[in-house]
Amino acid sequence: MRFFIGDIVKVMVSFLLRWQCPFCNSTFTDYPPFLAPHSRFILNDMVHFCEKYLANDDLSYRDVAKHGGSDIGYPDNSGLCNQFLSHSTIWRFMGCLEKISLSSLKKRCFSGSRPEPKKTHGIAPSKYRSHRRRSLLYRAHEAIVLFRRAPNPGIFPNFETGYA
């Protein structure tokens, strides 16, 4: 899995629980709450970048893929960055948030009888040209709203490193 520390992308090895059904031979994977299925990046970081993009009407994907004006890079063994985060990664984050099961987020947020959020966010028309892109951005925003309302344990919940 990958996570961001300032303008550096850190890679950490993690284990996923997988098991195979003896009857149907299907394989099942149990993802930890901080990791999005089929994604290399931590869910909190993905939400942060997408939220930053959607909140500011003037920011482009290229602007969001920078930290403090400098490119976000992957350091090699010598500590120098020779590969950098692509701006298209932020777009893929949006698609990943759209695909996250909103029903599972709703279950985490509203296990009781509390009503669902009716918060709407006006996404700037300059951020989309097609109906498909507009609906993706709105669904990603809905996932962000639900994610922010859900209790999030962070990567190491027992060491108090969870996100606020």
Residue predicted with more confidence, 87 or 102: 87
**Residue 131 has what pLDDT?**
92
For the entire predicted model, the pTM comes to: 0.72
Q: Which amino acid is it at 10?
A: K
Return the percentage of the chain with pLDDT > 70, whole number: 78
Strands (E), the chain: 2-5, 8-11, 17-20, 27-30, 66-67, 70-71, 73-75, 81-84
Q: Are strands 8-11 and 17-20 parallel, antiparallel or unpaired?
A: unpaired
Name residue 4's beta-bridge partners: 9
Exposure string of 34-65, with b = 16+ CB inside 10 Å and e = fewer, is bbbeebebbbbbbbbbbbebbeeeebebeebb
Which pLDDT band, with edges at 50, 70 and 90, does 73 fall under?
confident
Asked whether residue 28 carries a pLDDT value surpassing 80, the answer given is yes
Asked whether residue 119 carries a pLDDT value surpassing 60, the answer given is no
**Which two tokens mark 21?**
């059904």
Asked whether residue 124 carries a pLDDT value surpassing 80, the answer given is yes
Which pLDDT band, with edges at 50, 70 and 90, does 163 fall under?
very low
Residue 141, number of CB atoms within 10 A of its CB: 22
Task: Give me the mean pLDDT over the 13-33 stretch.
Answer: 84
Task: Give me the mean pLDDT over the 78-85 stretch.
Answer: 81
Least confident of 57-61, 66-70, 134-138: 66-70
